[in-house]
Amino acid sequence: MTLKLHTIICSTRPGRVGPSVATWFNGIANAEGLFDSSLVDLMDFRLPIYDEPNHPRMQKYQHDHTKAWSKSVSKADAYVFVLPEYNYCPPSSFTNALDYVYNEWNYKPCGFVSYGGVSGGLRSAQLAKQLVTALKMMPMMEGVMVQMPWNLLDDNKAFLPNEHHEASGKAMLRELEKWAKALRTMRQDLSS
pLDDT for the residue numbered 78 = 98
What is the per-residue pLDDT across 165-184, written as a single tens digit (0 to 9) for each?
A: 999 999 999 999 999 999 99
Strand partners, 112: 81
Per-residue pLDDT band at 189 (split at 50, 70, 90)? confident
pLDDT interval class at 190 (50, 70, 90): low
3-class secondary structure, 100 = helix
Helix 122-133 × helix 92-100 angle, to 10° = 10
pLDDT 10s digits, 63-117: 999 999 999 999 999 999 999 999 999 999 999 999 999 999 999 999 999 999 9
Find the DSSP H helices in the chain.
Answer: 18-32, 64-74, 92-100, 122-133, 163-191
Q: Write down all domains in the chain, each with its CATH number in brackets.
A: 4-191 (3.40.50.360)
pTM for this predicted structure: 0.97
Q: Which amino acid is at 55?
A: H
Render pLDDT for 22-44 as a digit per residue (tens, 0 to 9).
999 999 999 999 999 999 999 99
Query: What percent of the chain lies above the pLDDT cut of 90?
Result: 96
